[in-house]
Structure 1
């Protein structure tokens, strides 16, 4: 019996990795599908509300689609403006880097043939130009994936108002109620996650923007927006968002070191407090997910789909936990994925 259970466990583990490998290979299609699935939890209530108010389903979906496109357009305009601002100032920062290099190597006792003068304009100028080409290529690739996301989203939204009726017709009454409750729980918890995440990320972005504005670090609005977006990546995103403004402050205020030091202290304080103290506590309570599960899902889906997988890791983990919670044979997995706080309270601890 024990040997049979061990074989089943090993086969299940192999099946998980086989599915993960298949999803990794098919990420061109799977990632837009997962993003559309996530967006359906945001747009679905709007479609259901409009349909409830006797708006035709096609018109309701069209309205939501236009709204999504409008938000994407505003985001693209904002991002394009920030990139142009940074690229337009790049020659000045390249000159400053050249001065920093000359000062740093002036007192070094190096062989004469080793310490050749480096012209940072010649070294970094082509890279800046290549970067602008890369940004243009990224935008083109993004638009292609956005089109696929919108196609998936339209089909999901068109079927959303009829979903509960199909479930009622497809399953016996008891199973239909259980399945409906499970999907409603997934929708509720993912909605909570998105609301809390947007609130925390928005607060983090505003704090970073205000702090850098007070410290007079250039492009403070850009770094605030970067903090907002990267904060959607659990744990490490908040740290990654602190690196560019700290490096920029070093170049901007050279040879002074005090402003870069203050910048590093303030940013790391904001990011560590919001990203590693407040956020895990709120997210653990709202989704009832263990911090270890959040970290492992971040690593696993980050390996599978890169940054997009890191962004989707927590909603997918929450959905898996809820599904396991509603299947008797998988309830132990759901309990292990939870934070465990309710069991500690039950024991009076």
Structure 2
């Protein structure tokens, strides 16, 4: 009982520390995950006799360039929407009042709720996220530089620090994390990009305003598991309702098309391309999403699955923690493990 109590206290303490030190720990975690993606590239260039400093500089320049261009593009799209937002807010308020009167809903039910202002705050919060992302990019880059510069010597340091057996285990864990997370993020980026392009094309054909903005939003939020695609669909549907009122045909068509795209990409294309890539239970993914999203906001939600996967890989290679790894596995994987280990009667 005392052990359980101490464990709960430890978890709460760690959570408080992670939240309080968000400005430092979050960029470090981002750099650590990016390290697993870029380190193989640096090591490959090192084998071709390209200096580590030069290969690190090239990789870093490409990374910062792509991130900065993407952030500026997305922020520009959102700022364009914010400039046009006042006229949409007026129409939204009128539409809201019309529906209240049509369904004979007492105004007291909603009190002082201003739905237009709520939508505006949602858009502004997204814009603020991009600004914060760009500002944190500098710290991420600094951490990433030092990690990449030490990449070619990482194996030597591990072998000098541990016994041969433990060194092999540590290197296996690090290589597994690098392989699984690198592949997961690469495939997820491809699927998210495809989703964003489909959303942009569909909304452009329907005639919904700002189709590029909604496509970019779908691309970004698709990195958030479970709820990301739902969150990305809400703003364009609301805008279509405002834009095409009183004609509900395009609004319904917009909702159906977005639902079809998200279901097709999420339930058919993604499983075929990615398979059970990270081998995580949906419950674990949901808990991880809620915890890291509460802790670090949108960035934490995006990082929730890679962090959970890293924890599972570590537990899977530590004998005393293997039970935690099994509990984190998907049901399909546990079933395969059970029948694989089951001895014939």
CA deviation after TM superposition for structure 1 residue 143, in Å: 3.3
Q: Give yes or no for the alignment of 1:14 onto 2:5.
A: no
8 Å contact from structure 2 (residues 42, 148) kept in 1: yes
Computing the radius of gyration over CA atoms, which structure comes out larger, 1 or 2?
A: 1
Structure 2: give runs of 5+ residues left out of the alignment. 109-113
Aligned to 1:89, what secondary structure does the other structure show? Answer: helix
Q: Give yes or no for the alignment of 1:78 onto 2:73.
A: yes
CA distance in 2, matches of 1:97, 1:230: 24
Tell me: CA distance 1:124–1:191, structure 2 relative to 1, closer, same or farther (3 Å).
closer
Structure 2 partner of 1:274: 265
CA distance in 1, matches of 2:3, 2:102: 66
8 Å contact from structure 2 (residues 92, 116) kept in 1: no
TM-score by length of 2: 0.85
Within 5 Å, which residues of 2 pair with 1:141-156?
Answer: 141-156=132-147
8 Å contact from structure 1 (residues 239, 272) kept in 2: no
Aligned to 2:150, what secondary structure does the other structure show? Answer: helix
CA distance in 1, matches of 2:129, 2:104: 44
8 Å contact from structure 2 (residues 192, 223) kept in 1: yes
Aligned length: 333
Tell me: CA distance 1:330–1:245, structure 2 relative to 1, closer, same or farther (3 Å).
same
Deviation by residue 1:151-195 (Cα, 9 ceiling, x = unmatched)? 111111111111001111111212111211111111111112112
Structure 1: give runs of 5+ residues left out of the alignment. 1-5, 115-119
Aligned match for 1:47, one of 17, 35, 42: 42
Moved more, 304-313 or 228-237: 304-313
Aligned match for 2:33, one of 13, 34, 38: 38
CA distance in 1, matches of 2:137, 2:233: 28
8 Å contact from structure 1 (residues 249, 263) kept in 2: yes
TM-score by length of 1: 0.84
CA distance in 2, matches of 1:306, 1:110: 35
Tell me: CA distance 1:307–1:107, structure 2 relative to 1, closer, same or farther (3 Å).
closer
Deviation by residue 1:262-302 (Cα, 9 ceiling, x = unmatched)? 11112123223433565468666111111111111111211
CA deviation after TM superposition for structure 1 residue 70, in Å: 1.0
8 Å contact from structure 1 (residues 204, 227) kept in 2: yes
Aligned match for 1:315, one of 306, 312, 318: 306
CA distance in 2, matches of 1:86, 1:269: 25
Q: Give yes or no for the alignment of 1:180 onto 2:174.
A: no
Deviation by residue 1:28-72 (Cα, 9 ceiling, x = unmatched)? 111111111111122212211221111111111111121112102
Q: Give yes or no for the alignment of 1:223 onto 2:214.
A: yes
